[in-house]
Amino acid sequence: MVRRNAFRLPRHPASVGLARRRVRDHLADWGHTPRDPALEDALLLVSELATNVVRHGPLVEREFEVAVTALADGSCLIEVSDEGQLEPRLRTVGNFEEAGRGLHLVENLAAAWGVWSRGRHGKTVWALVAVD
């Protein structure tokens, strides 16, 4: 069985924590326990992707969307959508730089990740959290 939940949040720093809590609650309702590594990874990925929207999303955009899908095998798909056209890209980060490591974290935690274009409606950045 596949279970999906999507919700919209204001483009505000406080929304990152709210996104994390809502995803945690939905995955817990679907059987993921607090010590489940897949749940922990999903929450960290939601934080990173939502933070990217809040920090780098279009200034005129007031909201963004978060979706979480619990798949039948216990893995989950995280999606964060915004109206921006620019795709996030991994970049080289120096040892003393304080920012720029978020997508490296996504790259290392997710079984797969990428960007879907939504045409003139922006993009969706997605990450798949596999069950070990």
Q: Which domains does the chain have, with CATH numbers?
A: 3-129 (3.30.565.10)
For the segment 61-77, the average pLDDT, to the nearest whole number, is 90
Which phi and psi (to 5°) does residue 129 adopt?
Answer: -105, 115
- pTM for the complete prediction? 0.89
The band of 98, judged by pLDDT with boundaries at 50, 70 and 90, is low
Which phi and psi (to 5°) does residue 13 adopt?
Answer: -55, -35
Tokens at 5, concatenated? 């939940």
Task: Please check the confidence at residue 111 and state whether its pLDDT lies above 70.
Answer: yes
pLDDT of amino acid 72: 84
Tokens at 11, concatenated? 């483009």
118: Cβ–Cβ under 8 A, 6 or more apart, which residues? 81, 124
By three-state DSSP, how is residue 64 classified? strand
